[in-house]
Structure formats: C-alpha cells, structure tokens
C-alpha cells in the first residue's frame, strides 16, 4: 500500500452522526475566497524577470504563495542551465508532474492567481516556450486569475505598440499597451471613480496614491478603443516638463485595468508601475487590492457532468488523454457533478471509491456546488471510500462534490519551492462516483 502523505484535520467528531457533523462544519469560519485550489498565488520571477522572493501584499493578506526566482541578471548569459530546467519543469511539466505547477491533471487552475513580475517581457516570453505560454493561457481560460505589473502587464497584452512588437506575448488581454518612456521615477495614480478597488481600501479618501515606483512600464493603448469589458482602475498622475517625455505626457492615461472574458475564466489585472515591493501605506493597499480583486474574479466552478441512476462514472483518464470530464483529480482539487432526483426516489445513495492510499471527501448540496464548508451533507472520514445515504431527498437538482484532501509536501529552496512525499498525486488520483435510488 502506498504510504500516505496527507495534510488533513484530525477532528475528534468523525464518529458523530452525519447531521451533527454537517452542523459543526457549517458553524466553522467560512473561507472568504473560492475553495478547491492548492494555494492562492504562484509568483513568476523567472528568466529575464525580477527574481522576487517576497510579495508583501500576499503576506499582509495571509495568502499562501509559491514562487520561482531565477538567477539575477539582465542578459541571457546571466542565467544558468538550472534556471532553464526548473522553469521548464514548472511551467511545462515533468515526469513527476506532467501538467506543470499551474494546472491540475484536467487542465483546471491549481492556484487562484499567478502574479508576473517586472523585467523584460519579450525575453521572458521566449524563455517560456510555446508550451509554457500555452499553459498560462489555459490557466486563465480555465478560471485562474492573472496579475501583471510592468513586464507582466506587457506580457499579457497583444504587445507594446510603441515598439510594434508582441508576437511572442500571451495575448490573454485582447488589447495593446504603449510604453510610457519613463524610467526609475516615482509616479502618482488617480483611483478611477467607481473603481472596484475601492471595495477593499479607501486610499486615504482622496482617490490618489502617490509615488509608485515606475520603470519602463506602459499604459492601455486607446486608439481604436479599449477591448469590450475592460475596466479602468487607475490613471497616471504625471506631466513631465523636460526630457524625452516633454512632448509625450502620460497624465490621465490608463495605468491599471482589468478584464474578465466570461464567468468561467479568470480575471486579468494589469498595471504599468511597480507597487509590488512596498511594505506599508497606500501603495501597499494598492497592490493588496490588485490581489484581492484578481482572486475575487476566479472562474465559477465547472460541472463535469450529470450522474444517472445506477450508472458508475469512472474518473481515471490522464492529462495526455485530453478528456477533462473523465480525468483524475489533483491535490486539494474539487470535481463537481449534478444529479436530478425525481419525486418518488427513495433510499438514495451516493458512493465514492478511489485509489487506496489517498484521502477523498464526498459532499452533497442542494442547488449549488458542494464544498466542504457549505454542503448539506458530507463524508470526510479517512480514506478514499465514502458513502452518503438518505431515505428521501427533496426532488430536483443536487450537486455532488469530490475533494482530494491529499497533497504533496512543499520545501523551500533557493530558487523557490520543490515537492516531496508521494508525488503521484500531482498526476491525479483515479476514482469512481455513483448515485443510485429505488
């Protein structure tokens, strides 16, 4: 039998009746953000980006985070073979994790958001390769949010209109950015009237954040209009009097904006300046609001399919099978199903059986996706074999949630985080789910 490497709460009430257990779970503190992810943020400080190892706003908000920080340098020769190998394994995948760190086996986002640092956008894009870029695109398309500052902002766009380049970029925001031509300068930001960032902080009440570091970033390019659905969050407060910016004022240009393609995709939030390293004051509030708004914009839970009476659904496909509706479940992930209970149904039984050596949880909820903290009925006993039995249920659509409570052990390295323990969970745990009634 495989040795378990699990991180589960060992509550003393596992043997209590199910309705009491459900009540206790309901009374526990509720999560403020979406459930069903391994961690909150992955920070990209990869090749040709700032090798940041700390994100103060994430610490301030008590968000869980992992990162990749490559060797420090400004030219290709500053980076090592190890940088390339680690970045490729993280973003593209490896034998231990064929999906890469950002994705679950079925292609769903493993983190709630990715934050991409400043640096050199075209060079970083090239270093990611097509597979690495495709995985970031899939991360956002499947519901993970994206925050980018400076180079991270350019990388998400169609390109830098000032240089008329961008074929290497991600194109996850369908608009162009334009360089400010401004380097190593503090710059003000006006908070746009009605900006959703005001849901989190009032920024001193004057709708302004002063002296945000700026180094080569850009603004949203307006010629031809903004892409539909783009939200203006902040504008620049800066009018130069001398230098090469003299005839190119960026005052009131759009400095921060957000875009979310649909309910199922993640939110993209882009800023031309650098509030990410600040540890106090309104600039820290600004970066904190970026992370909060991005995480609040993760995609809605997706339903794998509708279960039929007495028909077992086998979830055993691998990533390479390209069949996400029947693919194995990843660490700390949820899979969601529905079942339509008829009026005369009785003795309703929901059963789950997964591979031995793992902890899978089973949830049942009326009218909305079933998560641990708000499900009507749960079975969170140890192991991968679960069952929920009811003599009668209210007729209509019920949601069934399956959670993989087994995860890897993470260890901090000089460059970021490596995984130990039973790594097989990264490639998914197979299971069978079934509903039956008389």
With beta carbons less than 8 A apart as the criterion, state whether 361 and 371 touch: no
pLDDT at 26 over 70: no
Contact in structure between 437 and 341 (CB atoms under 8 Å):
yes
Q: Are 108 and 143 in contact (CB under 8 A)?
A: yes
pLDDT, residue 242, reads 64
Domains delineated in the chain: 18-30+302-436 (2.60.120.380), 39-295 (3.40.50.880)
Percent of the chain with pLDDT over 70: 90
Q: Report the alpha-carbon distance of residue 244 to residue 248 in Å, rounded.
A: 8
**Which residue blocks in 7-100 are alpha helix, DSSP H?**
18-27, 56-60, 81-91
Which one has a higher pLDDT value, 68 or 27? 68
**For residue 249, which phi and psi values (nearest 5 degrees)?**
-65, 140
Record the tokens describing residue 55, joined without a space.
């994100």
Residue 183: helix, strand or coil by DSSP? Answer: coil
Q: What is the pLDDT of residues 367-400, one digit of tens each?
A: 999 999 999 999 999 999 999 999 999 999 999 9
**pLDDT average, residue stretch 164-193:** 93
Token reading at 384: 């991968």
Predicted local distance difference test score (pLDDT) of residue 31: 36
The two three-digit tokens of residue 419, written as one number: 């995984």
pLDDT > 50? residue 14: no
Angle at the Cα of 193 from the Cα atoms of 254 and 279, rounded to 5 degrees? 70
**Token pair for 136:** 């970031």
The rounded distance, in Å, linking the Cα atoms of 70 and 51 is 6
pLDDT score, position 125: 96
* Strand 145-149 versus strand 177-179 pairing type: unpaired
Whether the pLDDT of residue 329 is over 90: the answer is yes
- Rounded to whole angstroms, the Cα distance separating 289 from 278 reads 13
pLDDT tens per residue, range 202-252: 999 999 999 999 999 999 999 888 999 999 999 999 987 665 555 568 999
Residue 9 pLDDT > 90: no
Structure tokens at 295: 């995480």
- Over range 269-289, report the average pLDDT: 98
Rounded to whole angstroms, the Cα distance separating 199 from 294 reads 13
What is the per-residue pLDDT across 106-131, written as a single tens digit (0 to 9) for each?
A: 999 999 999 999 999 999 999 999 99
Phi-psi region of 202 (alpha: psi -120 to 50; beta: other; left: phi over 0): alpha
Q: What is the DSSP string of 115-141?
A: EE-SB-HHHHHHHHHHHHHHHHHHHHH
- Cβ atoms of 159 and 167 closer than 8 Å: yes
How far is the C-alpha of 217 from the C-alpha of 236, rounded, in Å? 11
């Amino acid at each position: 039998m495989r040795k378990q490497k699990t991180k589960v709460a060992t509550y003393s009430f596992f043997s209590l009746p199910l309705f009491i257990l459900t009540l206790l779970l309901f009374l526990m503190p509720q999560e403020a953000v979406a459930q069903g992810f391994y961690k909150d943020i992955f920070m990209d400080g990869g090749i040709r980006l700032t090798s940041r190892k700390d994100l103060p706003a994430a610490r301030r908000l008590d968000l869980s985070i992992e990162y990749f920080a490559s060797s420090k340098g400004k030219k290709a020769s500053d980076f090592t073979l190890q940088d390339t190998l680690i970045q490729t394994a993280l973003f593209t995948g490896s034998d231990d994790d064929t999906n890469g760190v950002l994705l679950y086996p079925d292609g769903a986002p493993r983190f709630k958001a990715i934050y991409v640092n400043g640096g050199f956008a075209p060079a970083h894009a090239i270093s990611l390769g097509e597979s690495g870029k495709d995985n970031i695109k899939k991360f956002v398309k499947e519901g993970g949010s994206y925050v980018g500052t400076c180079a991270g902002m350019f990388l998400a766009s169609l390109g830098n209109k000032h240089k008329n380049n961008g074929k290497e970029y991600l194109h996850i925001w369908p608009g162009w950015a334009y360089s400010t031509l401004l380097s190593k300068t503090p710059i003000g930001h006006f908070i746009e009237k009605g900006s959703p960032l005001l849901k989190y902080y009032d920024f001193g009440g004057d709708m302004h954040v002063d002296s945000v570091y700026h180094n080569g970033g850009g603004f949203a390019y307006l010629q031809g209009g903004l892409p539909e659905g783009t939200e203006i969050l902040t504008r620049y407060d800066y009018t130069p009097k001398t230098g090469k910016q003299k005839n190119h004022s960026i005052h009131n240009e759009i400095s921060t904006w957000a875009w979310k393609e649909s309910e199922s995709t993640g939110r993209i939030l882009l800023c031309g300046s650098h509030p990410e390293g600040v540890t106090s004051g309104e600039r820290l509030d600004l970066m904190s609001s970026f992370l909060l708004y991005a995480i609040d914009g993760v995609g809605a839970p997706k339903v794998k399919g509708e279960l039929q009476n007495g028909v077992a659904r086998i979830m055993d496909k691998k990533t390479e099978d390209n069949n996400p509706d029947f693919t194995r479940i990843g660490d700390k992930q949820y899979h969601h199903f529905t079942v339509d209970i008829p009026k005369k149904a009785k003795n309703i039984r929901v059963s789950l059986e997964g591979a031995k050596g793992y902890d899978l949880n089973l949830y049942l909820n009326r009218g909305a996706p079933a998560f641990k903290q708000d499900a009507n009925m749960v079975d969170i006993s140890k192991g991968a074999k679960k069952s929920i039995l009811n003599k009668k249920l209210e007729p209509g659509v019920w949601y069934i949630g399956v959670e993989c409570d087994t995860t890897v052990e993470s260890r901090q390295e000089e460059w970021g985080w490596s995984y130990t323990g039973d790594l097989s969970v990264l490639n998914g745990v197979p299971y069978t789910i079934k509903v039956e009634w008389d």
